[in-house]
Amino acid sequence: MSEIKAVLFDLGDTLWHFPSMPPGKVIRRETVSRLKRLVESWGHEFTDGRFYLGRDIRLSIEDATHRAFHGDSIDPGYPALCRKVAAEHDMELTREQGEELWDTWNLGGAFLGRKLFPDALDTLHWLRDKGYRIGCVTNRGHSGPRFHQELADLGLTDLFETTVISCDVGYMKPHPMIYELALGELNLEANQAAMVGDSLHADVGGSKALGMVAVWRKPVKDEPVEETEDEPAEDEPGPVPDYTISTLADIRSIPLFANGRADG
């Protein structure tokens, strides 16, 4: 096995979670309120039918994400989907308005109670101190300045040498291209990197297919999770990780990382 020089991380349910997510009715009320203000700012009336705009966006996004995740792993292009849904509500939007609608529909991690796992930063710093380079490869439909500010507020930006987000590059994990883009930015071969994530399909299967080391971070039970829909059927075992951990701090006990890089 080649020496591992970098460790790439997923975000949702790997580095962060939602231990205090607001109730569904609170989320719906906030979504409707934000969309109402936006629609009216465009000079449209927020009719009774448009009250369900947020719901229809959600259903469209869920369907497109499911098909992409289990299909070609090409990013669905969520702002364009929002424009399509808006057209069904008799609103013809420009490309810029479609992006604004998508940004408004996304409430953001702060509102949803997103928090880093207690051992996240300590583990990342421990790996850095051991000489490993740190990066992020994540499936997300929303990026942009607001999302990157959230990363900075959580203390992650300065730790990541590369941050590759599916909606920015057009490919979703487990597509090999999203991993290859991250490896290219680090100037590393696949066998010189490890991937840590909670998804057997996207994180473990996608990284192992390229020859990376795959560390499966078992999802936390009884908490809201970011939808991945990657649980294998009972008669269809999922990809087998090289290592399995229950907490991020467990990385320290993996022999591969315990002694650090030889040239670290």
* Stated pTM of the model: 0.91
Model confidence at 233, in pLDDT bands (50, 70, 90)?
very low
Model confidence at 96, in pLDDT bands (50, 70, 90)?
very high
Model confidence at 222, in pLDDT bands (50, 70, 90)?
low
Interval 7-57: pLDDT, tens: 999 999 999 999 989 999 999 999 999 999 999 999 999 999 999 999 999
Give the model's pLDDT for residue 97: 98
Interval 172-185: pLDDT, tens: 999 999 999 999 99
Model confidence at 67, in pLDDT bands (50, 70, 90)?
very high
75 Rama class: left (phi>0) / alpha (psi -120 to 50) / beta: beta
Q: Is the pLDDT of residue 247 over 50?
A: yes
**Portion of the chain with pLDDT greater than 70, in percent:** 92
Domains for the chain: give ranges and CATH numbers.
6-19+113-258 (3.40.50.1000), 24-111 (no CATH)
Q: Rounded mean pLDDT of the chain?
A: 91
Give the model's pLDDT for residue 10: 97
Give the model's pLDDT for residue 236: 52
